[in-house]
Amino acid sequence: MALRYALMAALHEAPATGYELTQRFRSRLANVWNASHQQVYRELARLLEDNKLLVETVAQSDKPDKKRYHLTIAGRKDLEEWLNTPQPRPPVRDPLLVKLFAGDLLDSDVLKEDIEKLKQDWLAQLGYFRSIEHTYFRQPSALSRQYRLQYMALRRGITQITAGLEWLEELETTLEELDDAP
Amino acid sequence: MALRYALMAALHEAPATGYELTQRFRSRLANVWNASHQQVYRELARLLEDNKLLVETVAQSDKPDKKRYHLTIAGRKDLEEWLNTPQPRPPVRDPLLVKLFAGDLLDSDVLKEDIEKLKQDWLAQLGYFRSIEHTYFRQPSALSRQYRLQYMALRRGITQITAGLEWLEELETTLEELDDAP
DNA sequence: CCTTACATGTAACAAGTTACATGATTAG
DNA sequence: CTAATCATGTAACTTGTTACATGTAAGG
């Protein structure tokens, strides 16, 4: 159910095509919501069917036409209702922690590779989030309520990754200790 | 695919019934993996079908019989292979952040209730994790590799929630500022 | 009497993933 | 010539959720 509203929230910010929405999920919304392009197109079709959206076909000279979706009044109302009703918190399902849990069957070198990979991913993501913070949210106190709340969504991503990186350090230290005194 | 391995990892630690596995997912594994009892029973049936598990029927005097599942050699081998191959990191899908992203449609009082609820949930969870830490992982340096890695899985839960609570404070401060100077 | 814990499932449906499909343009 | 970006989809499959179903025992 929530994908619908993630899409509507993104379209409420600004009308967009399925392609652009997919990109937003992968970039600015990476710490908020995730969806593949297949999911996006399918759900957009349903939202359109339910009259929550309108399409505007944008002709392009060289590239194929694209469909820009807009929230309708009904869509906005629907979104507003959802926003103001309690939502569950996300379920936790982390393969890396499953691995650690069965740590006695886990090879140390494989684990170290996993850690290194994850660290690189997180650092890249953190760099990206910080660049957004720097360019759009320099003095938060000057921002409108809307943007301050968006900023807090971004802050969540930054603090989460920062805590994740600290934990990775802790994990690496543990592995070194285990290597030294086996 | 990963539910299979989460179950196998849990059964590798100790044989258990579907009921017990469901409970573990809700308690000790709350920061690792999540699954409803329906999912657990369905997947256990599949694992049994694939000869990754064995059942032992445990007769009980007053309560109905229960089925205790054990990992087979094939199951253990399968798990080991999975553990030593790279796994994707969990996708991010957080309804609360979707709400913040569309913050201009969000009522402040509703948001404050969400925050309060989440804080209570997290505090309870943190208390629980800390109690495990205190009773089972007092001097980590004395522990075997297996338990030190399990401890690091627990540490992930503790550090994640701690960071989450700090972020919630930041969010509350922001809301107060917005209330004071509208 | 009512709820919670114990104990195990089936069925229908919604959400998410993977594979396949097509076609143009731009950069290396 | 090859890969990447833009742009949109269909189909099959797997995973996860919700609703329904049943029965015992203990505690308030």
Q: A39 CA, C16 C1': separation in Å?
A: 8
**Nucleotide nearest to B19 in CA–C1' terms:** C7
Nearest to B34 by CA among B46, B43, B23: B23
Is A89 among the domain residues?
Answer: no
- Is the CB of residue A91 inside 7 Å of nucleic acid strand D? yes
Q: Tell me: the pLDDT tens digits for A54-92?
A: 999 987 766 678 999 999 999 999 999 999 999 999 999
Helix, strand or coil, per DSSP, at residue A138: coil
Which residues in chain B have Cβ-Cβ distances shorter than 8 Å to A75? none
Q: Tell me: the pLDDT tens digits for B122-181?
A: 999 999 999 999 999 999 999 999 999 999 999 999 999 999 999 999 999 999 999 887
* pLDDT score at A169: 98
| H/E element, A93 | none
CA distance B60 to chain A (A): 30
Is B89 among the domain residues?
Answer: no
* pLDDT score at A62: 67
Rounded average pLDDT over A11-34: 97
Confidence of residue B109 (pLDDT cuts 50, 70, 90): very high
CA distance A124 to chain B (A): 15
Is B175 among the domain residues?
Answer: yes
* pLDDT score at B64: 72
- Is the CB of residue A70 inside 7 Å of nucleic acid strand D? no
A79 with A124, same domain: the answer is no
CA distance B58 to chain A (A): 26
A130 with A166, same domain: the answer is yes
CA distance B140 to chain A (A): 9
A139 with A160, same domain: the answer is yes
CB contact under 8 A, B99 and A90: no
A77 with A124, same domain: the answer is no
Which residues in chain A have Cβ-Cβ distances shorter than 8 Å to B33? 92-94, 97-98
CB contact under 8 A, A156 and B79: no
Angle between helices A2-13 and A37-49 (to 10 degrees): 80
Please say which residue of B42, B60, B83 terminates a domain: B83
Confidence of residue B32 (pLDDT cuts 50, 70, 90): very high
User: Which chain A residue's Cα is nearest to B78?
Assistant: A105
**Nucleotide nearest to A39 in CA–C1' terms:** C16
Average pLDDT, chain A: 95
Is B51 among the domain residues?
Answer: yes
Please say which residue of A28, A54, A83 terminates a domain: A83
Please say which residue of A17, A50, A83 terminates a domain: A83
Confidence of residue A180 (pLDDT cuts 50, 70, 90): confident
CA B13, B16, B19, B20 torsion: positive or negative?
A: negative
Helix, strand or coil, per DSSP, at residue A137: coil
In Å, how far are A117, B9, B11, B15, B113 from B29, measured between CA atoms?
A: 24, 11, 13, 15, 27
Is A52 among the domain residues?
Answer: yes
CB contact under 8 A, B106 and A92: no
Average pLDDT, chain B: 96
B65 with B11, same domain: the answer is yes
Nearest to A47 by CA among A83, A18, A89, A4: A4
Q: B144 CA, C23 C1': separation in Å?
A: 58
Is A88 among the domain residues?
Answer: no
Q: Domain count for chain A, please give it.
A: 2
Nearest to A73 by CA among A93, A54, A101, A97: A54
Percent with pLDDT over 70 in chain B: 98
CB contact under 8 A, B32 and A94: yes
* pLDDT score at B59: 79
B117 with B50, same domain: the answer is no
The enclosing domain of B12 has a CATH number of: 1.10.10.10
Is B22 among the domain residues?
Answer: yes
Q: What is the pTM of this model?
A: 0.96
A72 with A104, same domain: the answer is no
Residues 6+ apart with CB under 8 A from A26: A34
Q: Tell me: the pLDDT tens digits for A141-157?
A: 999 999 999 999 999 99
B175 with B111, same domain: the answer is yes
* pLDDT score at B182: 60
* pLDDT score at B81: 97
Helix, strand or coil, per DSSP, at residue A66: strand
Rounded average pLDDT over A4-27: 97
In Å, how far are A114, B96, B161 from A9, measured between CA atoms?
A: 34, 12, 26
Confidence of residue B65 (pLDDT cuts 50, 70, 90): confident
Domain span holding position A151: 95-180
B38 with B15, same domain: the answer is yes
A33 with A78, same domain: the answer is yes
* pLDDT score at B96: 98
Q: What is the phi/psi pair of residue B181, to 5°?
A: -120, 90
Percent with pLDDT over 90 in chain A: 93
A111 with A174, same domain: the answer is yes
Which residues in chain B have Cβ-Cβ distances shorter than 8 Å to A177? 141
Is B37 among the domain residues?
Answer: yes
B173 with B109, same domain: the answer is yes
